[in-house]
Structure 1
């Protein structure tokens, strides 16, 4: 059956959903399509279930840090019970989402969408024609192209394991592996991370990452550097994960090997060439308005955009840009210059703005100030040994260029620095003379981060 719409949205995650709802609210005829359960990565295989699991791991970690400081006894994670709790968040999502779409008059389709022309997509026996087609299809695990790849567990599946294996190898040294590794270690598994190069979490400041590596080791996580995956084999008892450089390969025994080596845009299965949609190795090539450079009827939001940092808040921001441009004639452009990010390990790390490496590449004169906060009351009172910071400020204007943090609540504190960078604040604007931060709090510790940098 052929049907015509103003907007056809591919993907039901946060970006696709927002676009569909806002366009429908503006009076447009809207269809939305997904080949998986309605809800998208964040709600079903990302942020929401991850935070539930990470919250439990944080409780265990906090209790361990406080042993000998007035806290006695062991606390443990009941994995099946934790997963059952997690599913109270995820299980209702697909039905609720679809009911909301239908209640708003948005037509819902299930199945794989493929381009059947510049303004048409086929979904099973249906062909949907749209004045605009929006791709918000998310991402999937990056193909590793090694023998035994099919024996690995995807990061999506990790969220719904009925039982947690005794030994787990995580392949890849990015945020997915580190977050899952800290969760699994807190739940009692023996955990190994295999990072293909000599540097883990490359998007973050290396000095902050080094402190996280120390904390990870103390949590029982074995992080192996320069260990590119070679193969995964199965024998009668377990998996044998082989990794390393030629002549220096090692074999790691495991009950489970988890793919945490990055995700790529899920656009290839859409047959973009049939829609005259240009792609590169990272996704769909778009202009500053998030419109396909080769097909003006196609917009992109979220992970399918090669320039996206692949974070949920960025996908939502993309969605609002796409809606405004569809309704208002391409008036808005995408800006990813200030995007705070966090890794929910124990302790977490967070970053926004320039790293030292990036500042040097751009030729920006800067002053760096780094320090330890483990002795501060806020951290010492909860037994947290791994807390610190690095701030970068412009040498001339004294504006904040970057902030890199490790310790409790840094996923919240980093947003203060994001606002400061976005609005051109200087370090002098963050002192106690400027703002009497609530005390005691992790935000109050900003005063101690900026104090060495303020004008005396």
Structure 2
């Protein structure tokens, strides 16, 4: 869906490159949704086939604990199956949260899970929340031509570098996404014409306001799937606030032979690839004689907003908090991607910064990249940062011209210098 939104921009660029495009581009939600859903179904089927090929028994049942070694699974038809094992892994993930205290939220709203299965266009949409999920959804909706508003309670992309976060939302705003900042919804109601009326409070002024939308999308966080597992029957401890399962470095819960990986575990990044890696390492420890533990530091990720934001390592705020401002040096640059030049696209939010220790050899603590293909760029540099790369090693790496990622190896202006970090020429 992110790619579908990006293609809209590329189609608009095409005439500048000599392509004759007849008439304005129109997006067909139904066609896109069908393709996305077919892809997801094929993935699910592929996983089932792989399990079968590897002689893994698969039970399509909802399970809960009976005791420390046994779970009871129930089919949709109500048939029960008891399963016992020496080792049990909980990897149930999480589900998007509904604000049940808001009148009409459950009745009239949808979540990020639902948007992938909508057969018809959501139309004018209010996205409530400012997480990466919220901003990714809003970016897609704006990109396919829908009137989209994001309601932000406090700050966008909490937990990410806040300078980068501001640039992400600036770009979205300049490309049509509206933002209601410092606002919280109080009630949702359906009007006689079928539209949804949202009433909200501006926290700064205390005043109430309202607007009408076709769809309300909640993206205010996720809850772990632990409430129906009967964890108390197995003696598995959870964090009372988050309801996530407490685990140690081995991914073991308070019951040594029961493990938890992924979003359901307390203190773990809510990212699919980290859960996959943790699961592989756990299997190797249990049955392959390995001692290797999952390393949760320097995990790279990308926020797939219209202008992608990739990062690995510490944010500038985290680096300062951990090492002190006087021990941190930040190198940065505003750059223009080559593909933005011919169509004369605005590149004012295309920005890179590398957070380093000030003392030689200036170990790289974090890299933040805002621009096209950020995921591809970040994945490559993540290896170097995991291996303890210094700034000297990065800048001695020959760049590939003309790419956006070469701008990383060209970084030479520090924030402390006060010099203009705008890249000019090649």
What range describes the TM-score normalised by the shorter chain of this pair?
0.7 to 0.9
Counterpart position of 1:115: 65
Q: Structure 1, residues 14-41: CA drift from partner, whole Å, max 9, x if none?
A: xxxxxxxxxxxxxxxxxxxxxxxxxxxx
Shift of 1:106: 1.6
Shift of 1:72: 6.2
Shift of 1:250: 2.3
Indicate the SS of the match to 1:170: strand
Shift of 1:137: 0.8
CA contact (8 A) 2:88 2:258 kept: yes
Q: How far apart in 2 are the matches of 1:242 and 1:72?
A: 45
Shift of 1:172: 0.5
Shift of 1:164: 1.1
Indicate the SS of the match to 1:224: strand
Counterpart position of 2:398: 436
Root mean square deviation of aligned Cα: 2.1
Q: Counterparts of 1:30-179 in structure 2 under 5 Å?
A: 53-64=1-12, 70=18, 73=21, 74-124=24-74, 125-145=80-100, 146-150=102-106, 151-179=108-136
Counterpart position of 1:227: 183
Shift of 1:88: 3.0
Structure 1 unpaired stretches of 5+ = 1-52
Q: Counterparts of 1:251-400 in structure 2 under 5 Å?
A: 251-280=210-239, 281-282=241-242, 283-292=244-253, 294-327=254-287, 331-364=291-324, 365-374=327-336, 377=338, 379-381=340-342, 383-385=345-347, 386-396=349-359, 397-400=361-364
Shift of 1:141: 0.9
Shift of 1:71: 5.8
CA contact (8 A) 1:378 1:441 kept: no
| C-alpha distance 195-65 of structure 1, shift in aligned 2 (>3 A) | farther
| C-alpha distance 260-193 of structure 1, shift in aligned 2 (>3 A) | same
Q: How far apart in 2 are the matches of 1:306 and 1:379?
A: 42
Are residues 1:249 and 2:208 paired? yes
Q: How far apart in 2 are the matches of 1:80 and 1:63?
A: 19
Structure 2 unpaired stretches of 5+ = 75-79, 416-426
Shift of 1:381: 4.3
Indicate the SS of the match to 1:414: helix
Moved more, 148-157 or 237-246: 237-246
| C-alpha distance 234-138 of structure 1, shift in aligned 2 (>3 A) | same
Q: Structure 1, residues 420-452: CA drift from partner, whole Å, max 9, x if none?
A: 221111111122xx3323221122222332466
Q: How far apart in 2 are the matches of 1:67 and 1:214?
A: 26
Q: How far apart in 2 are the matches of 1:330 and 1:338?
A: 22
Shift of 1:68: 5.2
**4+ runs of 1 displaced by more than 6 Å?**
none
| C-alpha distance 301-450 of structure 1, shift in aligned 2 (>3 A) | farther
Counterpart position of 1:190: 147
Q: How far apart in 2 are the matches of 1:322 and 1:149?
A: 39
Indicate the SS of the match to 1:277: coil
Counterpart position of 2:419: none
Q: How far apart in 2 are the matches of 1:366 and 1:354?
A: 11
CA contact (8 A) 1:373 1:379 kept: no
Shift of 1:371: 2.2
Shift of 1:65: 5.1
Indicate the SS of the match to 2:248: coil
Shift of 1:363: 2.7
CA contact (8 A) 1:378 1:440 kept: no
Indicate the SS of the match to 1:200: coil
